[in-house]
Amino acid sequence: MYKFPHRNILDADQFSRTDLDFIIQKTKIIQKLFKQGKTFGMLRGRLLASLFFEASTRTRLSFESAMERLGGRVISTVGFQFSSISKGETLYDTMKMVEAYADIAVIRHPVEGSSRIAAGAVRMPVINAGDGAGQHPTQALLDMFTIEVEKGKVEDLTIGFIGDLKYGRTIHSLVKLLRHYNVHIIFISPEELKLPDSYKKDFKDSVLTYEETNDIKAIWDCDVIYVTRIQEERFADHKEYERLKEIYKVNKELILASKKNTTVLHPLPRVTELSTDVDDLPNAAYFRQAEYGVVVRMALLCLLLNVEIHE
Amino acid sequence: MYKFPHRNILDADQFSRTDLDFIIQKTKIIQKLFKQGKTFGMLRGRLLASLFFEASTRTRLSFESAMERLGGRVISTVGFQFSSISKGETLYDTMKMVEAYADIAVIRHPVEGSSRIAAGAVRMPVINAGDGAGQHPTQALLDMFTIEVEKGKVEDLTIGFIGDLKYGRTIHSLVKLLRHYNVHIIFISPEELKLPDSYKKDFKDSVLTYEETNDIKAIWDCDVIYVTRIQEERFADHKEYERLKEIYKVNKELILASKKNTTVLHPLPRVTELSTDVDDLPNAAYFRQAEYGVVVRMALLCLLLNVEIHE
Amino acid sequence: MYKFPHRNILDADQFSRTDLDFIIQKTKIIQKLFKQGKTFGMLRGRLLASLFFEASTRTRLSFESAMERLGGRVISTVGFQFSSISKGETLYDTMKMVEAYADIAVIRHPVEGSSRIAAGAVRMPVINAGDGAGQHPTQALLDMFTIEVEKGKVEDLTIGFIGDLKYGRTIHSLVKLLRHYNVHIIFISPEELKLPDSYKKDFKDSVLTYEETNDIKAIWDCDVIYVTRIQEERFADHKEYERLKEIYKVNKELILASKKNTTVLHPLPRVTELSTDVDDLPNAAYFRQAEYGVVVRMALLCLLLNVEIHE
């Protein structure tokens, strides 16, 4: 009998294909229960510590919404308000304290690896909500769940990733999950922002196949198009940024020239890389992505707190 | 059969006299239920997104208290913590995201008209908690409800408005509501801070009558005195501000010289325009105003979420 | 029949020995009920206003956790977000407003004496969570409860206080409580940071005995060692601070040379005055202190809101 084997959610690497199938299955049940108004009460009396050492309103509200919709409660802190830290307290000590106050913690931190340090300090479950240039595993899980719901499967798909593949944390976490699936990925980016080799090495023993291109028209062949933002601060040359920003822009015209049922994803927030004229197309799934994020996080909170999810 | 016809609360202009009578009636029931400890549970399982793009602790706590006292839950964000905005996200996109997290939103925003944009982006109800120089309709409703409870009616009253009638957002919203009532208003202000003509034009087709004066002694004839703060930043000449500040100051002596049962209101916070020696007079209703604010907002939350209010 | 006689928690001075015995007894019951999952619901429908005019994440989260674990709800505000204050509102007016929104308030404020002003403005109970150089009575109560649980009693003990005894607010509050107990205190500090005479005068009519020393080896004789931080900003001479910091440092070696069952306490956060190599010794009780803090605050919230605590 399979039992969810994880105490924490720290890294997309930690999941086996069996884990992912299980998370998808349980999230679908949560989704159904939530629509029927039956989730409220599942985490009654449980307390989530929402620890955002750097601001990330979207992720914070998503987790807090997930906890509240399960009937749980939240204690929350954001950024420099975390006054003990400014007095020189270590993350280890902070977590020891938080463990006295809550049953589970979600942590966002500017320093890579800090969520692992946090988890090591305590017996309660810890969820990494993004640590520096590191992982953002629940974003990857919600992206995967979005593909599952929108396409009906995460198999036999061509998935295009566009934009900043070098620094984009969400993409790095998502491709780690996709290694477990029989999909073909097209990485579409300027030379300067290609996926780092370290990630490509990971693909060797996987069923996933991939190609790389700098031609945005490659999206025409994709079943799923995942758009990410190119950030100005990555470029020494402002003009080069302006030039590339215009090239790697997804708009209605491009989508209409693509496969009819192609699904457009974006982790949000978007700026100019994804035109608002795409919003009204049935292909636009990025606002639904936010909804899927809440149910995925509801499922994870239940799994980590050993609360059974069944219809 | 009357049915509350509003999906959002955006502007004091949106209400008919029938709407106002209905809101007053329902708020009185909520007030009774709350005193009996019966409101907790009315919004069980519902989630309010409390979005304060500029700080307004008083208004935020009032809405959050209203939601919690109905048994609902709140996810909340204040000011620059709203990190996606700082990355260039539009209000439209932000609201699309928030809709995935909550069932109703209250929004405070520094830019006039932004609550209407927010409401246009989503299917869930949106409440305007003040947008720039624009409207603050729930403040107007609670002011009206305060008059109703304190005087037993909102008819056949002489109401004096004192202070900054030019920029005072609360007054602008309240007079829009009072157009539906047979009241006489005395606008008392220095020449520089008179009510703008655009508001006076609105009175033409209404039952409301009014006069204007710069003499503070006009409050002697009023059944209700609504005091507002004169803000230093409105004056180029600091001395002129200092002079006027002293003239348009309501104190115990002035109130004792007024009608015996005159009721003193103030939207708070106050600084020097309303002396603390008024606090102990039975005429002082401004602290009770804050209590009425919570029950008015409780009623509005129920009405917008289609939860019936009955004894 | 004893009845808890306090409407507010403002000052460690307010408690009699009978009060302290009662608080310890009730906290032990809460502790048992909490472990049995029975506290959730005790404060259903009650609302705590968590007013932190200066940031103190540890204390804030502890109170909010206490309230949520009793099934109560929290409305919360931190620091400069308190926008009315920045407009010149007095604490009196702010509290009048908050009383309309909540059933009980906890207040942290940078100015000594402000919690008493806050309590004087309202009929609802107010808890002082630290006001400037003044009192922090709930910290003292949780320290006392920690001694009770860890040692099985607060009698016939030798208790050593180490570090900054001049400015340390937690120590000042705790010694006020210990005056009611038959304990011997050793105050261990550099000359510059000795306990002020005003506190020592208080000991005259009490059963407590004490001595003072600058020799850290005095901890060898203690049943309880309470370590506090020496703050750099107290010294004009940086070198003197660096010298003393090294002398008044508690580490594993010192603890192993002390009484076998000595208990090490610290109000946290710690920096260098308490080595992390102490953490793994059974003597280290400072992380458990945080847990005791939650149950003590749960008991106080119930007592002030007149909710009976019984098994």
Task: Determine the residue of chain C that is closest to A43 in CA distance.
Answer: C40
| The pLDDT value given to residue A50 | 97
Nearest CA in chain A to B90: A271
Cβ of B309: how many Cβ atoms within 10 Å? Answer: 18
CATH of domain A12-135+293-304: 3.40.50.1370
Does A263 have pLDDT greater than 90?
Answer: yes
| Least confident piece of the model among B104-108, C33-37, C241-245 | C241-245
Q: Is the pLDDT of residue A145 over 80?
A: yes
Of A57, A291, A294, the CB nearest to B81: A57
Chains within contact range of chain A (3+ C-beta pairs < 8 Å): B, C
Average pLDDT value for residue range C253-275: 95
Residue A217 reports pLDDT greater than 90: yes
Q: Which positions in chain A touch B82 (Cβ < 8 Å)?
A: 55, 57
Q: Look at residue C171 and tell me whether its pLDDT is greater than 90.
A: yes
Active site residues of A: 58-59, 87, 108, 136
On the question of pLDDT at C85 being above 60, the answer is no
* Size of the B and C interface in Cβ pairs below 8 Å: 69
Find, in chain C, the residue whose alpha carbon is nearest to that of B80. C81
* H or E element, residue C225: strand C224-227
Q: How far apart are CA A279 and CA A286, in angstroms?
A: 9
Q: What is the pLDDT of residue C133?
A: 79
Can you give the pLDDT at residue A79? 65
Average pLDDT over residues B122-126: 98
The residue among A34, A54, A65, A289 with the most chain B CBs within 10 A of its CB, best to mutate, is A65
The average pLDDT across C190-199 equals 92
Distance CA A235, CA C270 (A): 41
Of A31-40, B75-84, C266-275, least confident by mean pLDDT is B75-84
- Count other Cβ atoms within 10 Å, centred on residue C201: 9
List of chain C residues whose C-beta atoms are within 8 Å of the C-beta of residue B64: 75
The pLDDT value recorded for residue C82 is 52
Q: What is the pLDDT of residue C179?
A: 96
- Band of pLDDT at residue C134, cut at 50, 70 and 90: confident
Mean pLDDT for all residues in chain B? 93
Maximum alpha-carbon separation in chain C = 58
Dihedral sign of CA atoms C242, C245, C246, C252 in order: negative
* Shortest alpha-carbon distance between residue C171 and chain A (Å): 18
The pLDDT assigned to B84 comes to 58
CA distances for B158 relative to A98, B186, B213, B259, angstroms: 57, 7, 14, 11
**How many helices (H) and strands (E) in chain A?**
11, 9
Active site residue B58: yes
B78-96 pLDDT per residue, tens = 865 555 555 668 899 999 9
A271, A287, A293 ranked by CB distance to B88: nearest: A271
pLDDT at C231: 82
| Predicted pLDDT at A72 | 98
Query: Is pLDDT above 60 for C237?
Result: yes
Q: What is the DSSP letter of B33?
A: H
Average pLDDT over residues B222-241: 89
Q: What is the mean pLDDT of residues B18-44?
A: 97
pLDDT at C222: 98
pLDDT tens digits for range A175-200: 999 999 999 999 999 998 999 999 99
Do B309 and B26 meet the contact criterion of CB atoms below 8 Å apart?
yes
Q: What is the pLDDT of residue A116?
A: 95
Q: What is the pLDDT of residue C83?
A: 54
Q: Please give the residue of chain B at the shortest CA–CA distance from A270.
A: B89
Distance (Å) from the alpha carbon of A152 to chain B's nearest alpha carbon: 21
Per-residue model confidence (pLDDT) at position C284? 97
Residue C169's pLDDT band (cuts 50, 70, 90): confident
**Mean model confidence pLDDT for chain A:** 93
pLDDT at A169: 87
For the stretch C2-25, pLDDT in tens is 999 999 999 999 999 999 999 999
Average pLDDT of the segment spanning A76-101: 79
Answer yes or no: do B84 and A57 touch at CB < 8 A.
yes
Active-site residue, from C6, C28, C58, C166: C58
First to last CA, chain C: 19
User: Which residues have CB under 8 Å from A4's CB, separation 6+?
Assistant: A19, A22, A303
Give percent of chain C above pLDDT 90. 82
Distance from CA of C262 to the nearest CA of B (A): 45
Task: Provide the whole-model pTM.
Answer: 0.95
% of chain C beyond a pLDDT of 70:
97
Interface A-C: count of C-beta contacts within 8 A: 69
Residue C1 has pLDDT above 90, yes or no: no
With beta carbons under 8 A apart, name residues in chain A contacting B75: 61, 64-65, 68
Q: Is there a catalytic annotation at residue C262?
A: no
The order of strands in the sheet holding A126-131 is A73-78, A47-52, A104-109, A126-131
Cross-chain residue pair A84–C268, CB shorter than 8 Å: yes
pLDDT number for residue A89: 81
Q: Do C72 and C301 touch, CB atoms closer than 8 A?
A: yes
DSSP-assigned letter for residue C274: B
Chain A residues with CB-CB distance to B under 8 A? 37, 40, 55-58, 60-62, 64-65, 68-69, 71, 78-79, 268-271, 276, 287-288, 290-291, 293-294
Q: Is pLDDT of A208 > 60?
A: yes
- Band of pLDDT at residue A84, cut at 50, 70 and 90: low
Residue limits of CATH 3.40.50.1370 in chain B? 12-135+293-304, 137-290
B257 forms bridges with which residues in the sheet? none
Are residues A61 and B49, on separate chains, in Cβ contact within 8 Å?
yes
The pLDDT value given to residue A227? 97
Kindly provide the residue ranges of all beta strands, DSSP E only, lying in chain B, ordered along the sequence: 47-52, 73-78, 104-109, 126-131, 158-162, 184-188, 209-213, 224-227, 263-265
A50-71 mean pLDDT: 94
- % residues pLDDT > 70 (chain A): 97
Concatenating the DSSP letter of every residue in B202-270 gives HTTTSS-EEEEES-GGGGGG-SEEEE-PPPGGG-S-HHHHHHHHHHS-B-HHHHHTS-TT-EEE--S--
- Which of A77-86, A123-132, A141-150, B119-128 is predicted least confidently? A77-86
Interface test with chain B among C74, C76, C77, by most B beta carbons within 10 Å: C77
Paired residues of C104 in beta bridges: C48
C58 catalytically annotated: yes
| CATH level 3 topology of B137-290 | Rossmann fold (3.40.50)
Lowest average pLDDT, out of B229-233, B262-266, C219-223, goes to B229-233
Question: For B36-77, how does the pLDDT look when each residue is reduced to its tens digit (9 = 90+)?
Answer: 999 999 999 999 999 999 888 899 999 999 999 999 999 998
B87 is catalytic: yes
Handedness of CA C258, A93, A45, C23 (dihedral sign): positive
Q: Count the neighbouring beta carbons within 10 Å of the beta carbon of residue C210.
A: 18
Segment B122-144 shows an average pLDDT of: 94
pLDDT at C78 over 90: no
Mean pLDDT (whole number) for B271-290? 95
What the block records as the tokens of C116 is 């008493």
Percentage of chain A modeled with pLDDT above 90? 82
Residue B87 has a pLDDT of 65
Active-site choice (B46, B60, B109, B136)? B136
Q: Chain B partners of C98 at a C-beta cutoff of 8 Å?
A: 61
Closest CA to A76 of A49, A57, A100: A49
Q: Does residue B1 carry a pLDDT above 90?
A: no
